[in-house]
Structure 1
Amino acid sequence: MASTDVSLRPVRPGDLPAFFRHMSDPESHRMAAFTAQDPTDRAHFDAHWRRVLASPQIVSRTVLVDGAVVGHAAVYGDPGQREVTYFIDRPHWGRGIATAALRALLTEVPERPLLARAAADNVGSVRVLEKCGFKVVGEDRGFANARGAEIDELVLRLDG
């Protein structure tokens, strides 16, 4: 668990410049793997977030540490196939922030099952999901824009 105060709140338009900076970091982009084709395309980023913020089916939260924006987490998708996603700014990796944020999101969104996907070599993300109760239920292969190649991914599920 993080030794800092991790909290969630609804995403505000003023959070988006920080999200854009986080997601434009080359190492973060590579590790996330399944990302936008061009992480520097601000128009595409803004259009994506307009859709996210307008959708009543998406629960999207800003992750705060001691009041500062450090990432975002969300639940999206159709009933029975809902997925979690999260993105934490790289300087905050390895401090338990993603785990604390995902646990808070899972408390806020009690529906189950929930799915998650992670690049198979993204050990940190898989560990976060497993700490929050997700179990690997399958494997897949898909094109990862951030790596310019097909890669292996794990499919995880959180039941009950």
Structure 2
Amino acid sequence: MAEVALRSIVDSDLDALFELMRDPEAVRMAAFTAADPDDRTAFDAHMAKIRTAPQVTNRAITADGLLVGSVASFVVDGDTEVTYWIDRSFWGQGIATRALALLLEKIEVRPVFARTASDNLGSIKVLQKSGFTVTGTERGFANARNEEIEETLLRLDGPA
């Protein structure tokens, strides 16, 4: 298994992260993405905003030193949520699970929430391996699919 680590996102990561977040299959699975994943100006503006936001922890994920994605926590309406994005060529290797565990070690607040497209079984599995439990579902508009879909809501109450 690859050695997974988190580090700060640096300017030289942005081109690679932009490309990862444009992968059509990954975008479809993530479902709740930017309105236009090919809009570099919007991507750069979003990254500039979240890289300086005090309630956001955004980290690059490396596997054996290679940039393979990102993981973040952020606050929405007072709730801390997590998200992650892994290069599709690294799916199924336990990298997302390890990266999320590393991030959760740094987040001192509980509960922590997550949400994912209900048909994204890989992401649900990552979250459940990390201690999250399903709390319900709701419907939301998924930009990547241009339709309303069901998303699964999850919660982690475990130790901080």
What TM-score do the two structures reach when normalised by structure 2?
0.96
Q: Which residue of 1 aligns with 2:79?
A: 81
**Within 1, Cα distance between the matches of 2:22 and 2:68?**
14
**Whole-Å Cα distance in 2 between the matches of residues 28 and 64 of structure 1?**
18
Q: Which amino acid aligns with 1:131?
A: K
Which of 113, 123, 126 aligns to 1:125? It is 123
Hey, what's the Cα distance between the residues in 1 that align with 2:68 and 2:5? 10
Query: Could you say if the C-alpha distance between residues 32 and 78 of structure 1 is closer, same or farther in structure 2, counting changes exceeding 3 Å?
Result: closer
How far off its partner does 1:110 sit?
A: 2.6
Select 1:105's aligned residue among 99, 103, 110.
Answer: 103
Contact 1:80 1:113 (8 Å CA) reproduced: no
State the number of aligned residues: 158
Instruction: Give the letter for the 1:132 counterpart.
Output: S
What is the SS of the residue equivalent to 1:111?
coil
The correspondence for 2:14, drawn from 16, 20, 43, is 16
What residue number does 2:140 align with?
A: 142
Q: Which stretch of structure 1 is more off in the superposition, 79-88 or 47-56?
A: 79-88
The structure 1 segments of at least 4 consecutive aligned residues displaced by more than 6 Å after TM superposition are none
Cα deviation code 1:69-112 (max 9, x no counterpart): 10000000158511000000100000000000000000111311
Aligned-residue identity in percent: 53
Alpha-carbon distance in structure 2 between the residues aligned to 1:78 and 1:84:
10
Distance (whole Å) between structure 2 residues aligned to residue 13 and residue 117 of structure 1:
28
TM-aligned CA deviation for residue 54 of structure 1 = 1.1
What does residue 154 of structure 1 align with? 152
Structure 1 contact 80–114 (Cα < 8 Å) conserved: no
SS of residue paired to 1:121: coil
Once residues 125 and 53 of structure 1 are traced to their aligned partners in structure 2, the CA distance between those partners, rounded to angstroms, is: 24
Q: Please say if residues 62 and 72 of structure 1, whose CA atoms lie closer than 8 Å, have aligned partners that are also in contact.
A: yes
Query: Residue type matched to 1:14 in 2?
Result: S
Aligned 1:53-72 pairs, distance under 5 A: 53-72=51-70
RMSD: 1.0
